[in-house]
Amino acid sequence: MTTFKEIRGQLIKSLSSDPSPAAAGDMWYNSTSQVLKGVVLSGAWSSGTNYPLSISQCAGCGATQNAGLVFGGYSGGDKNVTNAYDGTNWTTGGTLTAAKSWPGGNGTQTAALSAGGYSGPGDNALTQSEEYNGTSWTEGNNLNTAAYGRASFGTQTAAASVMSAASGGSGINEEYDGTSWTNATSLPYNAYQGATTGTQTTGLLMGGIFAPGPTKFTTTTSYDGTNWTTESAMPEAKVGSSATGTTAEAIVWSGQGPGPSLVTSTFKYDGTNWSTDASIGTARKTLNTRAGTSTSAVTVAGAAAPGDVNNTEEYNLAATTKTFTTS
């Protein structure tokens, strides 16, 4: 066994008690308890302010945890509602030009994009796109192909929107430049209800259902604006989950797991590998109703058991003191 004397070096101090305060990255040897200790960052979920209504099949976007936007969804019917989150309160925003569920959503609280969606009974997929300026929605040019259950990423003027549950599912990919939609490289598989994050040229897509179903998958795929590349698979399959971050650092949470049950698991991606992170409080399918980053995120509402929920949960990295063992 390695001894403290052998690993001590100049960067690890011997202290009779734990330092206060201690910052992330600090490491010391507690000579009283004779253990090596350090402060690490670990994720944790906590409750935020409830959304104004219980709802699912919404879209969400936002650059930070304190500037989120949620729009559309289904609650006894398709909705045109928009609500903004400031980290404490929800504020009613402008209504969508048309009620819809399952749209793709990306951008920021003051420059958002809604792509496609679903309206009414039957397989009624939409081609409509809408832009939000922080106050009101206006119609943009239509998608080339009607779609819902999409996974969208990027900004209002540089977006990609992939996947569709319409007509049994597809791997269609369209890109938006702020004016028009252009068909781009499709996914190497047909699927829908995947989680996504990133930019138009550095996107990350996680999980979903292989069309026409019901096979769920762990596949992670990155997009460079031209090509799709298969990355390390998630620890378990996820469907209808949400994600934030980048291709180098991302988190994905909740959704439906490999079986029929909803799951609370959160996974963290470091650009190469996946690891398990803190579990979310309520298992649910949020399908990209999210805002923030891989270190500070928010998710809201969703389909849970036995019905839709309205609770908001926030994810943050917190400093935690841990005891290390050596061998």
pLDDT tens figures, 130-176: 999 999 999 999 999 999 999 999 999 999 999 999 988 999 999 99
277: tokens are: 């992170």
Cα distance between residue 103 and residue 202, in whole Å: 21
Whether a cis peptide bond, with omega within 30° of 0, leads into 188 is: no
Cα distance between residue 189 and residue 180, in whole Å: 25
Percent of the chain exceeding pLDDT 90 equals 86
Mean pLDDT in residue range 217-244 = 98
Cα distance between residue 115 and residue 160, in whole Å: 10
pLDDT-based confidence at 275, cuts 50/70/90? very high
CB–CB of 294/249 below 8 Å?
yes
118, 170, 275, 283 from 271: Cα distances, Å: 33, 26, 11, 26
User: Is this structure's pTM higher than 0.85?
Assistant: yes
Tally the C-alpha atoms within 13 A of residue 86's C-alpha that lie toward its C-beta: 7
Query: How many other CB atoms sit within 10 Å of the CB of residue 177?
Result: 11
- List all residues 6 or more positions away from 208 whose beta carbon is below 8 Å from its beta carbon: 151, 163, 191, 192, 193, 194, 195, 216, 217, 219, 239
Cα distance between residue 77 and residue 100, in whole Å: 9
Closest listed residue to residue 181, CA positions, set 118, 101, 126:
126
Cα distance between residue 241 and residue 266, in whole Å: 10
Closest listed residue to residue 34, CA positions, set 300, 325, 327:
325
pLDDT-based confidence at 2, cuts 50/70/90? very low
Cα distance between residue 26 and residue 16, in whole Å: 15
Spell out the domains of the chain, with CATH numbers in brackets: 4-42+319-324 (no CATH), 43-318 (2.120.10.80)
pLDDT-based confidence at 217, cuts 50/70/90? very high
Cα distance between residue 149 and residue 158, in whole Å: 20
pLDDT at residue 326, as a whole number: 62
What's at 150, amino acid-wise? R
Express each pLDDT in 70-118 by its tens digit.
Answer: 999 999 999 999 999 999 999 999 999 999 999 999 999 999 999 999 9
